[in-house]
Structure 1
Amino acid sequence: MTVKSKENVKITKRTVDACKPGERDVFIWDSETKGFGLKVTPAGNKIYLFQYRLPELRNAARLTIGKHGDPWTADKARMEAEKYRGDIKKGINPAALKKKRIQEAKANITVAELCDEYIEAVPFIILPKIGRPKKASSIATDKSNIERHIKPLIGKKRIGNIVRGDVERFQKDVASGKSAVDEKTGVRGRAIVKGGKGVAARATAVLKAIFSYAVKEGSMKQNPGLGVELFKGEKRTRFLTMPEMSRLGDAMIEAERNGVNATGIAAIRLLLTTGCRKDEILSLQWKWVDFEGGCLRLPDSKTDQKIVPLGAPALELLASCPRVAGNPHVLPGWKDKGHLVGLQKIWQKIRIVAELEDVRLHDFRHSFATVGVAGGDSLYLVGKVLGHKQSRTTEIYAHAQQDPLKAVADRAATQITAALDGKAGAGTVVEFKKRGE
């Protein structure tokens, strides 16, 4: 039996099985229960529907009952359609009632369940400020905050019961270390989770974003995180001084002699001489290195596509890096086609020898910028090299501009003082001519 579109027949299992997909959606309307129907998509999906009219609605409204299969059989779908017809007789809009029930059900889920829903949806959410979804690395950071802080501290609470005080308390608890942990994650892995205001602010920002998503989806009426001010963590702008860089150079030479991973040492040198972020260097591929143009052409950095100008030392270092057949990365790892991992362990060994235990890999970026600014280059140009989109990001290095200015002040003050003291070798005295002379 072949059923044609819009034919009125009793919808049974036999009818549904007989329906074949066409080039467009095929609609079958039931001959017994008014408004009950079946849609067959070109892909072969069979979906039960209920269509109805209300005086206040200009056009017919249509509700999706469910896709054919467990739990929706033709008989169960018909019973659902009959319930909707009963609602209409009472003057109730079935679509509005269904929406309300869904919202009530969602409001009863836990924060942990909402987090799982958010993680599934976030790769497809377009961020208005940048016009694209979050990057995979940012989503991974969100997951870490969810698993390490949000779920342990507030995950069991029902989202319908969350108030602003809960969000404020969450931030304080993370800051005080209530979610801190130090545990093994495998044969060689270890997870060390710390507290602090900076960590708390980032975790709370993720929590607020999750609640904002819930509001848009209709799961929450308002975001309980609105009005909660994030803690301001201590800004760290550690940079290497020239004597420290000298010690680091000696430590890397010693490490090379002692057989420390040469690829890891090359990674550290590239971080120091390019000002790039760690992930940008570790994931760097040969096809992104433009030797003729003297730059890196990164297709997908933290700030989208980016061109990184390279100095001669960085280009020489890249040219000296060996290429591994079949591996596209400048810094290959042990696995086929993979890049170097475990740079932190290599750096840990080197920084101990260099007596730089408080220096992080990201501090190399600060050091690159500080040297550039101290050398007289403008904040604008240094920001362009680093790939900063906003000038205020580069302003943290403004302190370095005081070094060349201080040198000018030192020279001028020294010459004036020497002249006042009548010491030989004082600076040249310039006589200013009067007008008319």
Structure 2
Amino acid sequence: MSVVRLSEAVVQQLICPPQRSHFEVYDLQIRGLYVDVQRSGRMAYRLRYSQDGVKRHMTLGDARLITLDEARQEARARLRQLRASSDPERNLLDVNALSVEEFFVDQYLPYVKTYKRSWGTDESMIRNHILPQLGAQAMAAVRAPDIARMVQSMKEKDFAPGTINRMLVLLRYGYKLALRWKVEGLEVNPAQDLKNIKNDNKIERYLTPEQTVALMAAVRESENPALQNIVPFLIYTGARKREALDARWADIDWQQSSWKIPKTKSGKIRHVPLSTGALELLGRMRAWSGLKAPGSDLLFPNPRTGLPFVSIYYSWDTARKQAGVPELRIHDLRHSFASFLVNAGRSLYEVQELLGHADIRTTSRYAHLKRDRLMEAVQVIRLE
């Protein structure tokens, strides 16, 4: 058995391994839907489900004759019928009712893709958490207890509170859109009154001056020569990793000592002031780029492709271990930027502006750093 993102092209190319009589390839979109590929070459779409505690399956059609979309539509209809027969009080679960899967896959995702840069995170959340639990239900049939059971199931599987809360936020927003778009039969938002679970496990790390020295020494020895520029750039600017990896020379304003970030998490253009240290770093990089990467407009081009790095995880992981900080995340460099500012006496408002936070509450996590600094300051008062 294997589970893949099925497409029409993938299905038509499936071949049964010679040592097997048949094998099953499950769909990622609809739980229980799979293609049964036989040694003879025959293929059928089938649906596996559980009824009265017994695992069963049904054949939906020949995979050479019906399309994947038709198989998915048939699977949705059969699952709704099965659920309706097991819960006759839910009259809204007829075959014509819009299911949770149909709404979030066919309506919600196409909409958020038009404006939301992080739509991929939503897609993953929908596929991995919402559809397996609620996908076959009609939108109008979902009740708060259904979502509460999903939350409890995720807690029992040790999912992080942040993951569960993001799922709740997505459901609330999805149902808000569904109400706005007047989905038939829908009258209330079942996720509206469910509270987020308490999240006390926020991990925030800050570089000490000693750790900063050790980290810089490690990145200078990295097999990825770009890392020795990327890491200090992140510390100097407090930028997010993706913002830095996509940065271009055209967005550096040398006269105003400023860097324009055209695509931010909030979707707004942000201008980051560049310190003397950042400008000196960029000056060295520009001289190096003129010799090593002519024509490239990227600050940190991948030397093999000339495009932005997709990932720098392995070189980063090696460097942080060599520096003695194996748990340090790249995003912690952004936290360190903020901690350096707060401990130098800068206000939280200034930190908010420099980090590009839309809400001061996001920045307030650094308030304890200022209190620590003030506590240290009052220690100089001694009466003996």
Residue 114 of structure 1 pairs with residue 103 of structure 2: yes
Q: Residues of 2 paired with 1:161 and 1:391: CA distance?
A: 38
In structure 2, how many angstroms separate the alpha carbons of the residues matched to 1:249 and 1:299? 28
Equivalent residues, number? 283
Amino acid at match of 1:228: L
User: Whole-Å Cα distance in 2 between the matches of residues 144 and 327 of structure 1?
Assistant: 33
Q: What is the CA–CA distance in structure 2 between the aligned matches of 1:113 and 1:337, rounded to whole Å? A: 40
Return the letter of the residue paired with 1:174.
M
Question: How far apart in 1 are the matches of 2:100 and 2:303?
Answer: 40
The correspondence of residues 203-282 of structure 1 with structure 2, limited to 5 A, is 203-219=167-183, 220-233=186-199, 234-255=201-222, 260-282=223-245
**How far off its partner does 1:384 sit?**
1.8
Q: 1:123 & 1:105 partners in 2: Cα distance?
A: 30
Inter-CA distance 143–377: structure 2 relative to 1 (3 Å threshold): same
- Name the aligned partner's letter for residue 191 of structure 2: G
What are the Cα deviations for residues 295-323 of structure 1, in whole angstroms up to 9, with x where unaligned? 10112212311110111111121222243
CA distance in structure 2 between the aligned counterparts of 1:175 and 1:343, rounded to whole angstroms: 32
Q: Deviations over 1:186-235 (max 9, x none)?
A: xxxxxxxx721111111221122112222222222221111011123222
CA distance in 1, matches of 2:355, 2:329: 18
Change (3 A) 1:320 1:405: same
1:373 and 2:342 matched: yes
Which residue in 2 is equivalent to 1:9?
none
Counterparts of 1:278 and 1:232 in 2: how far apart (Å)?
Answer: 28
Over residues 263-296 of structure 1, what are the superposed CA-to-partner deviations in whole Å (9 max), with x where a residue is unaligned? 1332122111211111111111111111221110
Check whether the contact 1:374–1:402 (CA below 8 A) recurs between aligned residues: no
For 1:404 and 1:223, the matched residues in 2 are separated by 46
Label 1:105 to 1:210 Cα distance change in 2 as closer, same or farther (>3 A). farther
Q: 2: CA distance between counterparts of 1:106 and 1:330?
A: 54
Distance 1:123 1:274, change over 3 A: same
Letter in 2 for 1:118: Y
**Contact 1:276 1:386 survives alignment (8 Å):** yes
Match of 1:332 in 2: 301
Whether the 8 Å contact between 2:93 and 2:138 is mirrored in structure 1 is no
Q: Distance in 2 between matches of 1:207 and 1:335?
A: 41
Matched, 1:172 2:152: yes
- The residue correspondences of 1:352-371 to structure 2 (distance < 5 A) are 352-371=321-340
User: How far is the alpha carbon of 1:392 from its aligned partner?
Assistant: 2.3
Structure-2 separation of matches of 1:119 and 1:173:
24
Residue 307, structure 1, aligned to residue 271, structure 2: yes
The question of 1:202 aligning with 2:166 is answered yes
Structure 2 counterpart of 1:182? none
Q: CA deviation at 1:365?
A: 0.7
Q: Which amino acid aligns with 1:308?
A: V
For the Cα contact (< 8 Å) 2:301–2:309, is it kept in 1? yes
SS of 1:313's partner is helix
What fraction of aligned residue pairs are identical, expressed as a percent? 29
For residue 335 of structure 1, report the CA deviation from its aligned partner.
Answer: 6.1
Conserved 8 A contact 1:326-1:337:
no
Please, what TM-score do these two structures have when normalized by structure 1?
0.60
CA distance in 2, matches of 1:391, 1:262: 37
Q: 1:235 to 1:106 in 2, by over 3 A?
A: farther
Deviation string 1:375-418 (CA, Å, 9 cap, x unpaired) is 111222222222223322221111121344233311112xx12x
Tell me the distance in 2 between the aligned counterparts of 1:176 and 1:238.
Answer: 28
- Whether 2:235 is the aligned partner of 1:291: answer no
Are 1:391 and 2:325 counterparts? no
Question: Which residue identity lines up with residue 141 of structure 1 in the other structure?
Answer: T
CA distance in 2, matches of 1:104, 1:296: 54
Distance 1:346 1:244 in 2: 18
Q: In 1, Cα distance between the equivalents of 2:156 and 2:276?
A: 47
Counterpart position of 2:319:
350
* Deviation for aligned residue 1:143: 1.2
CA deviation map 1:39-83 (0-9, x unaligned): xxxxxxxxxxxxxxxxxxxxxxxxxxxxxxxxxxxxxxxxxxxxx
Task: Give the Cα–Cα distance (whole angstroms) in 1 for the partners of residues 95 and 326 of structure 2.
Answer: 49
Q: Secondary structure at the match of 1:412?
A: coil
Distance 2:177 2:94 in 1: 16
Aligned partners of 1:336, 1:105: CA distance in 2, in Å?
A: 53
Aligned 1:14-25 pairs, distance under 5 A: none
Residue 373 and residue 114 in structure 1: after superposition, are their counterparts in 2 closer, same or farther (change >3 A)? same
Check whether the contact 1:334–1:340 (CA below 8 A) recurs between aligned residues. Answer: no
The equivalent position to 1:150 in structure 2, one of 116, 125, 130, is: 130
Cα distance in 2 between the residues matched to 1:252 and 1:239: 17
TM, length-normalised to structure 2:
0.68
Deviations 1:165-202 (A, max 9, x none): 1111222222332xxxxxxxxxxxxxxxx721111111
* Superposed CA offset, 1:134-178 (max 9, x none): 432x2122112112222233223232321111111222222332x
Q: Name the SS for the 2:260 alignment partner.
A: strand
Q: Specify whether residues 262 and 335 from structure 1 end up closer, same or farther in structure 2 by C-alpha distance, changes over 3 A only.
A: closer
Structure 1 residue 373: Cα displacement: 0.7
Alignment of 1:24-39 (within 5 A): none
